[in-house]
């Protein structure tokens, strides 16, 4: 019986790497093309009773809970919210910086706070990470949390909740953040280059998101976070050279907007708002700008011209509430990417900049 149980478990572990099902959650009244899906023979199979020798294997996100720190650190969310609010009141660009920091963290090795590790050769020290900001905000929050609840709350959980509170502070939606993530102990600078830099094509973006359990809808929705924030002019320099005597493959840009950007970006060190219309407000104007060919990054404007993403852009532009409600759904999914939750996985860092001694 012992050998039989081992064989069954081994077979299930192999099959787990073969089939992956992705459920797309759509907000109410989304106007997207309908798809006709044909059921496979597997959908008609009768359910089998579970063998008594098989262990119950749960996905990592099932170990998270909104009440995870209810008794061990009851003031956690209040601490994070107060700190984030104070920072954003002093500098509104902090909101976009924290949200971007969270995305870069989850994009490499999952949401394990590896982006916060500050050592030679880390993601944080990589050339492509030099424009990331907000580290001192997380450090300040962590220091206060350690005073109240020492050795209890992970940096990964702090960063995830901080991104939520930053979004709310600039008019975005509120969502419950489930807690229980562990902090990673590995961070390689070469892996930071995997994060989209604003010049990829849509196929590359889709593949990047799908490899992390996110879908095309999540791609377009999370790109909408560019309704706030800025970009260095150096990052968009190729976009500004669109109108030349050579034919370029990238999508067109509004002439008036192009002239404005050329004046704004006389120096590569200058900044340009990602949303040219309402840069300090969380709204759906980002998608309206794309329809007017006023997308700052190449990756933004391509969402409007690619047949796979254009219908979603068209649906979100006139429906701000649809964007806001779906944004919360996609952010929860982002926060659940490749988690460390097991007893022997990760750690609770005492200082977010370094692994525990």
- Give the residue numbers marked as catalytic: 104
State how far the Cα of 108 lies from the Cα of 105, in Å rounded to an integer. Answer: 6
Distance in angstroms (rounded) separating the CA atoms of residues 158 and 147: 14
Q: Is 114 annotated as a binding residue?
A: yes
275 is an annotated ligand-binding site residue: yes
Q: How many CA atoms lie within 13 A of 49 on its CB side?
A: 3
| Residue 105, annotated as binding a ligand | yes
313 is known to lie in a ligand binding site? no
Residue 110 annotated as part of some ligand binding site: yes
* Cα(292)–Cα(335) distance, integer angstroms: 32
Does 254 show up as a binding residue in the annotation?
A: no
- Per DSSP, the residues of 272-331 read EESSSS-TTS-STHHHHHHHTT--SSHHHHHHHHSTTTHHHHHHHTT-HHHHHHHHHHHH
CB 278 within 8 A of CB 227: yes
Q: Is 112 annotated as a binding residue?
A: yes
Residue 62 annotated as lining a ligand binding site: no
108 assigned to a ligand binding site: yes
Helix (H) or strand (E) holding 210: helix 202-210
Is 123 one of the annotated binding-site residues? yes
d(CA 246, CA 162): 45
Angstrom distances, CA of residue 95 to CA of 159, 164, 191, 346 = 12, 9, 25, 27
Residues at the binding site are: 105, 108, 110, 112, 114, 123, 196, 226-227, 275, 278, 283
Binding residues for substrate: 196
Q: What residues form the annotated binding site for heme b?
A: 226
């Amino acid at each position: 019986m012992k050998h039989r149980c081992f064989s069954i478990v081994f077979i299930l572990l192999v099959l787990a790497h073969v089939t992956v099902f992705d459920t797309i959650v759509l907000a109410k009244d989304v106007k997207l093309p309908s798809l006709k899906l044909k059921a496979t023979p597997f959908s008609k199979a009768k359910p089998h009773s579970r063998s008594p020798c098989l262990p119950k294997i749960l996905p990592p996100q099932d170990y998270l809970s909104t009440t995870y720190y209810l008794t061990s650190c009851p003031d956690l969310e209040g601490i994070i919210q107060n700190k984030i609010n104070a920072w954003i009141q002093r500098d509104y660009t902090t909101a976009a910086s924290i949200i971007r920091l969270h995305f870069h963290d989850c994009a490499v090795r999952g949401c394990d706070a590896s982006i916060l590790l500050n050592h030679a050769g880390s993601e944080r020290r990589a050339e492509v990470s030099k424009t990331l900001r907000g580290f001192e905000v997380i450090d300040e929050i962590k220091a206060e949390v350690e005073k109240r609840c020492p050795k209890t709350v992970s940096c990964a959980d702090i960063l995830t909740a901080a991104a939520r509170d930053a979004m709310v502070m600039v008019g975005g939606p509120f969502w419950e953040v489930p807690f229980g993530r562990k902090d990673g102990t590995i961070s390689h600078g070469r892996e930071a280059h995997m994060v989209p830099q604003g010049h990829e094509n849509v196929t590359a973006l889709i593949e990047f998101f799908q490899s992390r359990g996110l879908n095309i809808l999540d791609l377009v929705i999370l790109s909408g976070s560019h309704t706030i924030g800025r970009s260095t002019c150096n990052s968009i320099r190729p976009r500004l050279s669109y109108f030349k005597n050579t034919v370029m493959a990238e999508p067109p840009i509004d002439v008036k907007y192009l002239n404005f950007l050329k004046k704004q970006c006389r120096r590569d060190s200058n900044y340009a708002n990602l949303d040219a219309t309402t840069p300090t407000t969380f709204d759906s104007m980002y998608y309206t700008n794309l329809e007017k060919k006023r997308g700052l990054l190449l990756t933004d404007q391509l969402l409007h011209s690619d047949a796979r993403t254009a219908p979603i852009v068209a649906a979100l532009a006139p429906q701000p509430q649809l964007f806001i409600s779906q944004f919360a759904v996609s952010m929860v999914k982002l926060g659940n990417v490749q988690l460390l939750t097991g007893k022997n996985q990760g750690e609770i860092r005492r200082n977010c900049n370094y692994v525990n001694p």
